Amino acid sequence: MSTHTVFRLQSQGSHHNIKQHTEPIPTIDSHEILLKIRGLSLNYRDLAVANGIYPFPVKDQVVPCSDAAGEIVKVGSQVEGLKVGDRVVANFDVSNLYGPQKDWNHGHGAPIDGFLREFAAIPASAVTKIPEEAKLSFAQMSGLVCTGVTAWNALYGNIPLKPGQTVLFQGTGGVSVTGLLLAKAAGARTIITSSSDDKLAYVQNKYGADYIINYKNTPDWAAEANKITGGEGVDYILENGGSGTIKQSIGCIKMGGSIAVIGFLSAAKQEDMPDVAGLALSKGCIVRGITVGSKQLLEDLVRFVVNKSLQPPVEKTFGFSMEEVIAAYDYMQTKMADGRQTVLITGCAPGGIGHALALDFHKAGLRVFATARDAAVLKDLADLGIETLSFDVTSQKDRVRIRETIDSVAGGRLDILVNNAGKNCTVPAIEVSDEDIQSTFETNIFSVVAIIRELSPAIIRAKGKIVNIGSITAVTPYVFGSVYNATKGALQAYSNTLRLELAPFGVRVILVVTGGVQSRIARTDRTLGEDSLYLPINAEYLRRVKHSQEGAMPTKAYSASVAKEVLKKSPTYWLWQGNRSWLIWFLDRFAPRSVWDYIFPSMFGLARLKQIVAKRERA
């Protein structure tokens, strides 16, 4: 056989973009071995790579998956200590033989090809032999690579764990459960936390956790850990929450203890960010980040697991066909869903409404997907654990990619969609260009309709909510904004109809009728053309360009009010918010329509222009 099956990620955005290929079996050089891959393990990293949210380099057309075990079928002429038929596992980072990882450029399954294939040529120095006496399946062996080494690194990579010491594990994910298995075998006392009583009962019964803490029922779980240890604190903590839980971790760590920072599932808001340096100093403890580990650590782990006759957990196995590969990813994605409500927000650039809403929904405990044309501008949100995505709302390709991302990373469910991205257009009605008309309608209404159409299956599955950020200009003749006003009028009519059409499916549609809010909407400087009929009132026009920001409602106040209403079980379907919004509501409802014919011409010079024109005509 000269060819083999290889799976490659055609493009990032969804694991459904993984496609099957037939390629030549790799040849090896003198220092390599040819591995017949017999078992793989999926990790969260594999999902992140496929879904396009992995923050480190990923090569084009990458072969996914970093964790592999198999049999050697060919050995290079210069290889020593390995032979055909040996069972081996491959190291996560091909260059990290000992000591700390040097960079993110040599990890299998992202910057270099991984193991979702039948055969792989690997440097002999990057594999670890499994002893012949080991009673482990290939699936169990492969699970030692990332999950196992990460847990081992946390417990033995710096100051080795000793019998009788206490280890606290956050959550019941793979690293925590594997770490629990290792710590129990080492004679340690163990504590594990979760928000699920069922998961806690399972790990206690199956893996022998000594103490369990439901942090949902016991929010101050650090105090409970201190109580369990008689006030001394725990010796080791596998910190999976990140900035949102590190304060409590330091609060229950023993003097001189070790905290291994592994995940960032519970990020703190910037203003709530704990003083980690000061807290760590107060306990004299070690706080260290874990980035998997070296081949040396993998060898130590294998030796320990085999000598202790441990059986690493394998939850479910799948076959090697195209259908089974996708099914494995689907299963992993479903398992990764954390139960939080999901919200996707468009137009989240700093300083605007979307950015503030992302922070408020994050604070409320939702899983937030914040988008902007370039996700790089959302770094402050990403630092908080908010998932950031590049999204040009006018691009159908991007809209499909966003839908695929929601299908992949959120199990195809979206609880809240906030259509906030918008484009202003403050130009006299008879002077606006075709380009301005097209781009304003494309951003403010056409893209909204297309996004909702694309994401409606996910919203219907969740019986979710659609929030369209509208404007008071939909009900007022806000002069020099005819095209923008028209888009917001269309959005209002569309939202009203959509609300009725989606009601049978349990979906709520909320239109936020927005008045003046401090935002980036008026950031574009506009000037009248040299031949504009409105040059005599140029000063009034220039004031109108920035008028929405005069006396505008603070963005944070607006956002907090909108988020609070949206999160209600039965929110109002027309929400008036922002400066002058209630005045506009009152006048729209109770005053004659002619009231606007007096207000706006007086405010923005049209009454004066009428006099100027009349005077010219009499001259």
List the catalytic residues: 484, 488
21 C-beta neighbours (distance < 10 Å), count: 14
Question: Cα(first)–Cα(last) distance of the chain, in Å?
Answer: 97
504, two tokens? 């049978």
368 CB-near residues (< 8 Å, 6+ apart) = 342, 343, 345, 358, 361, 362, 381, 386, 387
Q: Which helix (H) or strand (E) holds 3?
A: strand 3-9
Distance CA 241, CA 220 (A): 14
Distance CA 481, CA 545 (A): 9
- Residue carrying structure tokens 């980690």: 276
* CA distances, 414 to each of 366, 465, 563 (Å): 11, 9, 16
Distance CA 360, CA 199 (A): 30
Asked whether the beta carbons of 274 and 268 are under 8 A apart, the reply is yes
- Residue carrying structure tokens 């994050």: 362
32-41 and 119-123 beta bridge pairing: antiparallel
Q: Which helix (H) or strand (E) holds 586?
A: helix 581-590
Asked whether the beta carbons of 318 and 327 are under 8 A apart, the reply is yes
- 91 secondary structure, DSSP code: -
